[in-house]
Amino acid sequence: MDTKSNKRPRKEPVANKKRLVSKTIIYDESKANQWLDDPPLEIWDHVIIPMLGLKDLALSRHVCTFFEAYWQDKFSNNVLPLRVGLDVATINDVMGVIEILSRRREYTNLNPFVVLLDKGNEIVSSWTDEAGDKFEATLGITRSNITFVGTGKDTTTILGGFGIYEQENITFKNMTVTNTSEDGCGIYMTDANVALFDVALKGCDNVALNLSHSSETIVVATRCEFANSKFGAIVEGSLTSATFKNCVFHDNEMFGIYGLSSATIHMYGESTAIRLNKKCGIYAYNSCKVLIHLPSHHNTSYNNGQQDRYARNGGTITNVLD
């Protein structure tokens, strides 16, 4: 005899009549057909908007008053990053959008314009510096308070470089920059203030990081790599300051670090290394001061083709105990 019951199995009761949709969104199933109502703001913030973007939301502003109000709120609070490949086709289109939006709201050091970069990005634009010299395959940064964020040095690559003149609070994170164009630099900056985090500037035809002679230029680099270029870094100018924290300079055709014209260079961190450069590891020239904030026995500069540490014409390289 068939002992199986034709009755459907009884569902277990839902203890609190709530279903977790994401980490921050809760539906109350006691309300009939809640999904037919306007989605709560948590869904817009955590589900819908991440699938859209700055451009998509801007184009939706005319659909209804909700979209216009939502856009105004997100734009005024600067919570919509610009995503290359979604909001703009390529990295070459970034500065055009930033120029327009910067005239509509103020971006600051604490609240910068954020640009999200995905995998491959090729710069085809050119940039002319303050002296009239033209750099091919270089994107000119024409506004202050911008943060470029990649997905990692091994995943986000920039074929080309960046030119920065008289701009402040420019930040690059999690990417590799390679400029193989003639005399190409990874980053060329004058009278600017730049921060680098987990960035590799490598394979450049000229200088990976070039701080040109200027009235005042400041760079702070953390866990960065300067490699396989003509020079790893050139730091020039009496009011120019470069701080390198746990950075590596290696396999460059000339010097790992070349400091001159009374510039000041600070080096911190046990992971700091200047090695395997074909000529000098650290070259301090013309009253440049290189301050190594590590004990003298730390293996900071080694296995370079010529001198590991070379100072002349008033340049100094000194270990400093903080």
pTM of the model: 0.85
**Statement: residue 39 has pLDDT above 70:** no
**Statement: residue 172 has pLDDT above 70:** yes
User: How many Cα atoms within 13 Å fall on the side-chain side of residue 249?
Assistant: 32
**Statement: residue 34 has pLDDT above 70:** no
**Statement: residue 5 has pLDDT above 60:** no
**Statement: residue 157 has pLDDT above 70:** yes
The per-residue pLDDT for 23 is: 43
Q: Which of the four pLDDT bands, split at 50, 70 and 90, describes residue 126?
A: very high
Q: What's the average model confidence in pLDDT over 56-67?
A: 81
**Phi first, then psi: what are they for 96, rounded to 5°?**
-60, -40
Mean pLDDT of the chain: 88
**Phi first, then psi: what are they for 47, rounded to 5°?**
-120, -55
Using CA atoms, how far residue 143 sits from 8, 107, 112, in Å, is 66, 9, 11
The per-residue pLDDT for 22 is: 40
Count the neighbouring beta carbons within 10 Å of the beta carbon of residue 284.
Answer: 26
Distance CA 227, CA 207 (A): 9
Task: Please state which of the ranges 13-17, 58-62, 239-243 shows the lowest mean pLDDT.
Answer: 13-17
The per-residue pLDDT for 54 is: 86
Which candidate, 148, 161, 79, places its Cα nearest to that of 118? Answer: 148
Domain ranges, ordered by start, for the chain: 99-319
Name residues whose C-beta falls within 8 Å of residue 322's C-beta, 6 or more positions apart in sequence: 293
**Statement: residue 38 has pLDDT above 70:** no
**Statement: residue 189 has pLDDT above 50:** yes
The per-residue pLDDT for 16 is: 40
**Topology at the third CATH level for domain 99-319:** Pectate Lyase C-like (2.160.20)
Q: Which of the four pLDDT bands, split at 50, 70 and 90, describes residue 20?
A: very low
Give the distance between the most distant pair of CA atoms in the chain: 105
Q: Which of the four pLDDT bands, split at 50, 70 and 90, describes residue 24?
A: very low
